[in-house]
Amino acid sequence: MNNLSGTGLQCIRSNRVVFEDLSFSLESSDVLHLTGPNGSGKSSLLRMLAGFLRPSAGELSWGGASEPILEKIQYIGHQNAVKGALSVLENLSFWSQINGDRGDQTALACALQTFGLEKLANLPARFLSAGQARRLTLARLLVVPAPLWILDEPATSLDTANEVALRSAIYAHSEAGGMVVMATHAGMEADAKVLDMSTFGKTTATG
């Protein structure tokens, strides 16, 4: 999958048009930032791209296919999907196994190291701080390789050092030909594409 595009997308949530007539396209190596105020539909668009939501109008194309290709998408939502009763390593290796990985230990160790979690590998995840749990979630991106990353506010509760780690992971991913779509409030790279969601909004009710 080396491109992703949407044309004339419309999203209606409980009779309210969140955005409409939204078009974008993404090629290999592109990083697309979604900006806009709360409620402008950033998360809705991301959930659309991951295939959870269907657009009420318009069309999406995942590299030419009209259905999302699940093997090629990694989604990081608001929630961390971290189980407190499992250790950090168990959490991570579970997600790699669910995605059909054979449990490659070096990939797991490497991902933990990138986000500075290697010393916490055997700690039950309920003892993690909010930022550490977020890093564990982000480590999933590196364990299960996929060309398209869909990130919803990935830098939430990260400290400066780890924000840099995240940024370099995104950079490396795009250098390797991957695509990233992310909703963000934080500062962004100068050469990144930006989609300002507030320009597609509309407040009239359709009901």
Partner 1 sequence: MTPFLALLKRDLKLAARHGLDSFMVVAFFVLVVILFPLAVGPEQAILGRIGSGVIWVAALLSAMLSMDRLFQQDYEDGSLDLLVLSPTALELLVLSKTLAHWMSTGLPLIIVSPLLGILMNVSSTGYGTMILSLALGTPILSLVGAIGAALSLGARRGGVLISLLILPLFIPVLVFGVSAVETALADLPSRSEFLVLGAMLLVALALVPYAAAAALRQALE
190 part of the interface to partner 1, by CB under 8 A:
no
3-state SS of the chain is CCEEEEEEEEEEECCEEEEEEEEEEEECCCEEEEECCCCCCHHHHHHHHCCCCCCCEEEEEECCECCCCHHHEEEECCCCCCCCCCEHHHHHHHHHHHCCCCCCHHHHHHHHHHCCCHHHCCCEHHHCCHHHHHHHHHHHHHHCCCCEEEEECCCCCCCHHHHHHHHHHHHHHHHCCCEEEEECCCCCCCCCEEEEHHHHCCCCECC
Stretch of residues binding partner 1 (CB under 8 A), selected from 3-11, 25-33, 48-56, 186-194: 48-56
From candidates 19, 95, 115, 149, binder to partner 1 by CB under 8 A: 95
207 part of the interface to partner 1, by CB under 8 A:
no
From candidates 14, 38, 67, 98, binder to partner 1 by CB under 8 A: 98
80 part of the interface to partner 1, by CB under 8 A:
yes
121 part of the interface to partner 1, by CB under 8 A:
no
182 part of the interface to partner 1, by CB under 8 A:
no
- Please identify, using beta-carbon distances, which residue of 59 and 71 lies nearer to partner 1: 71
109 part of the interface to partner 1, by CB under 8 A:
no
82 part of the interface to partner 1, by CB under 8 A:
yes
Positions in the binding site for partner 1 (CB under 8 A): 50-54, 70-71, 73, 75, 77-83, 85-86, 90, 94-95, 97-100, 102-103
